[in-house]
A = this chain, B = another copy of it.
Amino acid sequence: MHLFISARLAWHCEGPTDILLQIEAAASAGQQVISSALESTPAGHFARVPAQDGIGERIWLHQEGACTVTYKAEVEVLRQVTLLDTLAALPPHRLPGEAVPYLMDSRYCPASRFSPFVDAAFAAFEGGAKVCAMAAWIGAHYRYVPGVSDASTTAIDSFVERRGVCRDYAHTLICFARAAAIPARFASGYGAKVKPQDFHAVAEVWLADADGVGDWHVVDATGMADAASFARIAVGRDAADTSFLTSYGNAHLRHLGIEVRTA
């Protein structure tokens, strides 16, 4: 699927400020960046550094005053929607080094505390079918309520309050998967069908195909994106790693506009 992505951000820095951006679709597994353009107000410093797992780049800006960034890209998503039910979980002792960190508890995903619930609720399922059951459970029990979560909301908060936005759905699914010893990471990105249009977030789980080959697979508990319609920006343990804009200094977001079209 072809995605035509357009993003525009504006913010104001009171005094010289360092800004960390993660807004570009990453040249990475399952997607190809056909064309891409990033324009920003002049910055005293502009640098790119590799992001998590070697997927995409983080951009450092050193700025002051009113700033804007415009990003336009054409991305071809090559992934097919896989039936997760056909995939298996590897036993933990067969997990490769790259997957192991995604078994661990993280800022918003204190996964180990969910073990008793996960053991009880999803005992009937294995592997990819278990992940599907988890995503379905969240979809059935959570209410999508824009604005209820903030930078301190963890999966425990969401689980108790049974509501959230895409980040909270993803955090909960990541907790559930990790509690079942299935590596799970957080992916920020662009989704063609996300309504209202905004940055989106999904979970990626490490599952093996019929030949026992492990790989990351997209799952979206909100149901608004799937592997074929999602262009990844960045991955991480959870939302703490993939914020689209982080400021070191005093910056205020003034505008955020996202548009994703397909063709």
Q: B-facing mask of A108-149, CB < 8 A → 1, else 0?
A: 001011101100100000000000000000000101000000
Interface size class of A (residues with CB under 8 A): 35 or more
CA distance A148 to B192 in the complex (A): 35
Nearest CB of B to A118, in Å: 10
A83 within 8 A of B: no
CA distance A171 to B241 in the complex (A): 18
Q: Chain B contacts of A96 at CB under 8 A?
A: 49
The answer to whether A104 and B248 touch across the interface, beta carbons within 8 angstroms, is: no
Nearest to A96 among chain B residues (CB) is: B49
Which label, helix, strand, loop or mixed, suits the secondary structure of the A interface? mixed
The answer to whether A50 and B93 touch across the interface, beta carbons within 8 angstroms, is: no
The answer to whether A113 and B50 touch across the interface, beta carbons within 8 angstroms, is: no
The answer to whether B18 and A91 touch across the interface, beta carbons within 8 angstroms, is: yes
The answer to whether A112 and B151 touch across the interface, beta carbons within 8 angstroms, is: yes
**A6-14, A26-34, A153-161: which one contacts chain B?**
A153-161
The answer to whether B61 and A93 touch across the interface, beta carbons within 8 angstroms, is: yes
With contacts A52-B101, A60-B93, A151-B112 known, is A141 near B120, CB below 8 A? Answer: yes
The answer to whether B18 and A240 touch across the interface, beta carbons within 8 angstroms, is: no
Q: Chain B contacts of A200 at CB under 8 A?
A: none
Q: Chain B contacts of A91 at CB under 8 A?
A: 18, 62
The answer to whether B50 and A97 touch across the interface, beta carbons within 8 angstroms, is: yes
With contacts A143-B116, A163-B116 known, is A49 near B95, CB below 8 A? Answer: yes
CA distance A257 to B20 in the complex (A): 41
A237 within 8 A of B: yes
Q: 4 smallest A-B Cβ distances: which pairs?
A: A49-B97, A60-B93, A50-B97, A18-B92
15 A-B contact pairs sorted by A residue (CB < 8 Å): A18-B92, A18-B93, A45-B94, A49-B100, A51-B97, A51-B100, A60-B94, A61-B93, A62-B93, A104-B236, A105-B107, A105-B240, A106-B240, A156-B160, A237-B237
